Structure formats: structure tokens, C-alpha cells
Structure 1
Amino acid sequence: MSDEEDIILSELPDDELVLQMHDDLYDGLKEEIEEGVNILLGRGWQPYEVLTNALVGGMTIVGKDFRDGILFVPEVLLAANAMKGGMAILKPLLAETGAPRMGTMVIGTVKGDIHDIGKNLVGMMMEGAGFEVRDIGINNAVDAYMEALDAGDVDILGMSALLTTTMPYMKVVIDAMIEKGVRDDYTILVGGAPLNEEFGKAIGADAYCRDAAVAVDTAKEFMARKHNQVAG
């Protein structure tokens, strides 16, 4: 059959459609992802199920292959963009259905650093895991972080740096939070290529996350702990 390429999404049973969406996400096919999301919703899937099974499931594979050097930044950005298309459809529905909200994260690259690929990836994966993400962009001074935290209802602060010269600025932000007496109100996660666990500890962060997949797991862990404390 020569037109093997033409897979008609609407004709696939649910489980095959979800696997096809994982492939389409991997290949960065935004329109196909949007179509797949709409088909599953049309079949009575809950928005949260579509998010978890189709999109997060797919992005987890992307994240793993990125970490293992099978996929590279351009492909990951395409996948993230395709996921954004699906998320745009699901977001208002998730808000309506009151899907389990994991928590809220403010994320931004530190002052002097304009790298945002890792940060964007973490943001996408966090959204995919059910967190609300407020991305404050690149080149953020202390004030920008403070302002974002002051906007309220924030659980996690994520800081990213890709240059060894900008890494120390993370400590400047944490020190400012200590000075203001708000440090313990937030879980602080740091990441970026030149960082490591020792550095994270030295500057007083709660955790260093080596990649987006680890960031999501770590954030979930801290939120679970926080909820237990509240419950207890």
C-alpha cells in the first residue's frame, strides 16, 4: 500500500491513537496533536486523561531521549511546540473540570543569562504534569523573581543558568529571599548544564535537577511532602 503515510487518526481505536500521538509529539507534529486531542475529547475522555496519557506520556519519552542524546534541542523544541498546541485546547477545560492541581511554579533564567531552552522544557513538562507554570523569561534580576513570588499562590521557584558566570546569581536571589524572611515559604529548584548537586547545596537550594524529567519528579515529591505536613 503506497499511501501508508496517511494514517487517519479518527479511525484508530483509543489505545492506538494514544501511541500515534506519542509518535506525532516526538516528531513535533502540532496539527496532528491538536486533532488527536479533539478526537479523544469527542470520545468522552476527561481532559486530565488526555493530558496525562497522550501528552505527558509522549513528552516523557521525548525528555528521556533528549537526556540520552538521541534527540537534540531543535527536535525537543518542536515536540514542546506540538504539546503547546494540545495544551491550548485542554487548558480551559482543565480549569473548568478542576483537574488535580499539583502546585504553582515560578520559573526563570537568572540575570546575565539568556538561555531558555532548558527552562522552557522544564516549564512544558511541569505543565504537562499538572502544575501551573509562571514563566518570567530570561535575564532576571532579584526584583523580577521577588515580584513574581509576591504575586501570590506560588509553591516552587525554579532558577536556570547555562553559563558558569551566571550560576552564582542564584545565590544572590536566595540570599535576598532569606533577608526578606520568605526563603522557607518556597521550594527552590535549580538547574542548568554547569550546575551539580554540590552547587545546589552550597547556595541553599532545596534540590538540583539535572533535567526536566527529574525536575518534575522532584517537584511532585516536595509537593507531596508539603501536603502531608498540612494534613498532619
Structure 2
Amino acid sequence: MEKQELLNKAKEAIVDADEEKAFSIISEAKKQNVNLLDLLLAGFGAGNQEIGERFDRGSLSLPELIYAAEVMKNVTNTILELLDSDEGSNSPFVTKGTVLLATVAGDVHDIGKGIVASTLRTAGFDVIDLGCEVPVETILEEAKKRNVDIIGTSALLTSTMVEQKKLEKLLAETGEKKNFMTMVGGAPCTPRWAKKIGADGYSEDAVDAVKVAVKLMEEKRMKFDL
């Protein structure tokens, strides 16, 4: 089976909430030495994005979304364990920092952020993952408590993007903006959105998130002469 066919079938498995099919694809990918991160991002991740878009359009019910997301979670946990076993190996990134990640309030999508967390850890970052549906007040409280460098938020629905703007406003109003770099991501997010709300960076996917985090750490060190 060609790699692209595997990616297409992985997407279908999530859209159809077919866990048995998804696990068979993982097995096939391992046999063919297909990059598991590619499988997550371009295969299963594409399916996860599709169900999010369908829910956002109103063509998918909440129970259907949760069921599909649960299948995705089980599949992803398996792959992340395999990725984590190779953590830190052959990583071209040497800049380290502490990143706090959270999916914003009102959004149940947790898989894409989980992939980002694993990729950042592999690149040498310390990652604190608060999970999904996290209020901005909790995000700021945990960021201060943990003394993090970067706050990364994910919004997979257009209706929850406002929470990312809400966080930037809270950081500004409390005078904490100067203490943290911020980055945003998620299917409906764009570089224009990041700039509009005052976020320091935007990442399109997990691999890009590492590059952005490295860049933000460099900017923070220059800013504070660390």
C-alpha cells in the first residue's frame, strides 16, 4: 500500500469512527516504515480536522463528534507512545524552554494539541499540557505558577477562537503580557488572526510549532538578555 493511500485511509478511519480500521493502518504503516508523525498529521489529523469542520457546520452532532474524537484519542495515544520511545533522538533543535499548552474553553478537541505536545517534547522542550476546555483564567494562573516561557492555545472551532483573543486581553490587562510569549493554532486560525489579537506566533501544524517555539525563545532571550 502506497503512503498516500495509507494517509487517505487513516483520514477515512477517523471520519467513519472506525477504530479497528485505524489500528490496522498503524500496523501497516509500521511494517512499511512510514513516518508515524506524518501519519498523525496528514492522515489521522486530517480526519480529526474534518470532523471538527463538520461539527462547526452543524452536519455532525455532539455525540458523533465525541465518539470520533475518542477513537482518535485511542489511536493517537498508541502512536505517541511509539514516538515518545524515541524522544530526543536525532533532534536538530537545541533551544529549550517551557511551553504550556491548552485547548480553549468550549472546545473538546484535544488530539492535535497532543501531537504538538509530543513533538515539542521530542525537540527538547518541557511541556505542560492542561488538556481541553480550559478557561483563560486557569491558563494564566498555571502559566504564572509554573513559570513558563510560552503559552500555546488551540482552537479548532471558529466559535471558540474568541477565547484566544480573550487570553491576550487578560494578559494585557493584568500586566502579564511582558512575561510570556504566546502562540496560537488550530484549523480556523491564521497568521492574520494571530497578529490581529496580539499573539506572538502562529503554527500551522506540529512540526511548524517547534520552529515557532524555537523562534519565540530566541526572541525572548534577546528581549530579556537571558
Instruction: Tell me the TM-score normalised to structure 2 length.
Output: 0.65
Amino acid at match of 2:221: H
Deviation at 1:229, TM superposition (A): 4.3
Residues 27, 78 of structure 1: 8 Å contact kept: no
Separation in structure 2 between the aligned mates of residue 208 and residue 141 of structure 1, nearest angstrom = 20
Aligned length in residues: 166
Deviation at 1:65, TM superposition (A): 5.1
Q: What residue number does 1:134 align with?
A: 128
Deviation at 1:206, TM superposition (A): 0.7
Separation in structure 2 between the aligned mates of residue 183 and residue 133 of structure 1, nearest angstrom = 20
Q: What residue number does 1:165 align with?
A: 159
Deviation at 1:72, TM superposition (A): 2.0
Separation in structure 2 between the aligned mates of residue 230 and residue 169 of structure 1, nearest angstrom = 28
Matched, 1:223 2:226: no
Matched, 1:212 2:215: no
Residues 103, 132 of structure 1: 8 Å contact kept: yes
Identity among equivalent pairs (%):
32
Deviation at 1:175, TM superposition (A): 0.3
2:171 is aligned, of 171, 177, 182, to 177
Separation in structure 1 between the aligned mates of residue 95 and residue 30 of structure 2, nearest angstrom = 28
Deviations 1:34-91 (A, max 9, x none): xxxxxxxxxxxxxxxxxxxxxxxx99x4444555x3x32456553212223555xx8x
Residues 155, 186 of structure 1: 8 Å contact kept: yes
Separation in structure 1 between the aligned mates of residue 173 and residue 76 of structure 2, nearest angstrom = 38
Matched, 1:187 2:181: yes
Separation in structure 1 between the aligned mates of residue 144 and residue 132 of structure 2, nearest angstrom = 18
Deviations 1:129-178 (A, max 9, x none): 11110111110112210221121321000000111100111111110110
Amino acid at match of 2:30: D
Q: What residue number does 1:16 align with?
A: none
Residues 159, 189 of structure 1: 8 Å contact kept: yes
Q: 1:112 to 1:101 in 2, by over 3 A?
A: same
Residue 204 of structure 2 aligns to a residue in which SS? coil
2:44 is aligned, of 72, 76, 83, to 72
Amino acid at match of 1:72: F
Q: What residue number does 2:150 align with?
A: 156
Amino acid at match of 1:193: A
Unaligned residue ranges in structure 1 (runs of 5+): 1-22, 29-57, 91-99
Separation in structure 2 between the aligned mates of residue 146 and residue 184 of structure 1, nearest angstrom = 13
Residues 62, 76 of structure 1: 8 Å contact kept: no
Q: What residue number does 2:81 align with?
A: 81
Matches within 5 A, 1:4-23: none
Q: What residue number does 2:30 align with?
A: 27
Separation in structure 1 between the aligned mates of residue 208 and residue 109 of structure 2, nearest angstrom = 19
Residues 202, 212 of structure 2: 8 Å contact kept: no
Residues 98, 150 of structure 2: 8 Å contact kept: yes
- Cα RMSD (Å): 2.8
Deviation at 1:115, TM superposition (A): 0.3
Residue 184 of structure 2 aligns to a residue in which SS? strand
1:122 is aligned, of 91, 116, 127, to 116
Instruction: Tell me the TM-score normalised to structure 1 length.
Output: 0.63
